[in-house]
Amino acid sequence: MFFYGTLRHVPLLERVLGRSADQLDCQNGSLPGYGAFAVRDECFPMISADPDGAAPGILVRGLTPGDIDRLAFYEGGFGYDLRDVPISLDNGTETAAQVFFPQEGLWQLGDPWSLRDWAAEWGDLTLRAAEEVMSYYGRMSAAEIAQRFPSIRLRAAAWLAAQQRPADPDRDIASDVVVHDYRRAYLNFFAMEEVDLQFRRHDGTMSAVMNRSAFFVGQAAVVLPYDPVRDCVLLTEQFRTPVFLSGDRAPWVWEPVAGLVDPGETPEQAAHREAMEEAGLTLAALEKAGEVYSSTGSSSEYLHLYVGITELTGDGAIGGLASEGEDIRSRILSYDELMEGVDGNRYRDMPLVTTALWLARHRDRLRAAA
């Protein structure tokens, strides 16, 4: 097989195959008459006819039927089919090979694609995402994985962001946490992972082996829009399935603006984007109100909390993206009404209560600045 795109990145090829590339016969070559181009608005390439071009890549021999099946699983859900084509090797010889070609009309062509630039920007995220994808090989179809791939990338980006946070200065997780077994138990828009582990107790001994699981979401940006001149905030209300499933008879919940942080996007960018998508608001500034896990006992979700400075007029509106099934009502209320709701335990959304209490501490400063 000949690889012109991301599978030229040997660590990714190894992750997809589940074995070392040292066991394979790899040679550099090119595909005459074609070029590798970025797919518009995506982080992966496609091959396209280019009469004057020759797409560089690697020819891999020694693949087993199992290897080919794993490769087809990884690529198949994204609309790529295998085709036999002639390849020119760097040693001056030619040979026939199979290449993954995109289905006609599936993607829009972008700029010429660079493996080096892609690896620098997307390599680590793609490796983490591929790890989750391939853990479901033999358990799900390629088409099912493709449907879930956007959320897989969200979790991969969140994992990489978590790796950049400071380590515990008083503990070494390499020796203070022992993992005996690890399983990816469930995959849909969200995921569930399960582990058998021990951790070092406060008395210095290791705990018993315990089975625990965690709900995986990603990173989210939460922003409470605040108008310091009019001294009012905007809240959004929408139906929340987990609240309904918990047995709560009031599953429509008042919240700040919120949404998941997309791969390649900063939390600040996500906050501005969500404010426009959910409430039609342009934020003049963001005030950082904290970074927290939403529920450390059950979920990996990591929240970036903000108060967004903006101008609030009117009575609110209906917003949200229809493509994401959102039906969001917004409401503008005074600061005093907000705090009466907090003190009266009327709000059940933790990020709303948290950002409201942060606003209470900083309101005078924000109003003075305005």
Catalytic residues: 324
Q: What does the alpha-carbon distance between residue 226 and residue 309 come to, in Å, rounded to a whole number?
A: 5
Amino acid of residue 119: A
Helix axes 335-343, 350-369, angle to 10 degrees: 150
Sign of CA dihedral 54, 58, 64, 65: negative
Task: Report CA Rg, the chain.
Answer: 25
3-state secondary structure of 117: helix
Q: Which two tokens stand for residue 89?
A: 């090797």
Q: What is the DSSP string of 241-282?
A: HHHHHTT-S--EEEE-EEEEPPTT--HHHHHHHHHHHHH---
Q: What does the alpha-carbon distance between residue 244 and residue 138 come to, in Å, rounded to a whole number?
A: 33
b (16+ CB within 10 A) / e for 228-239: beebbbbbbebe
* Pairing outcome for strands 302-309 and 219-227: parallel
Torsion of CA 143, 148, 149, 155, to 10 degrees: -160
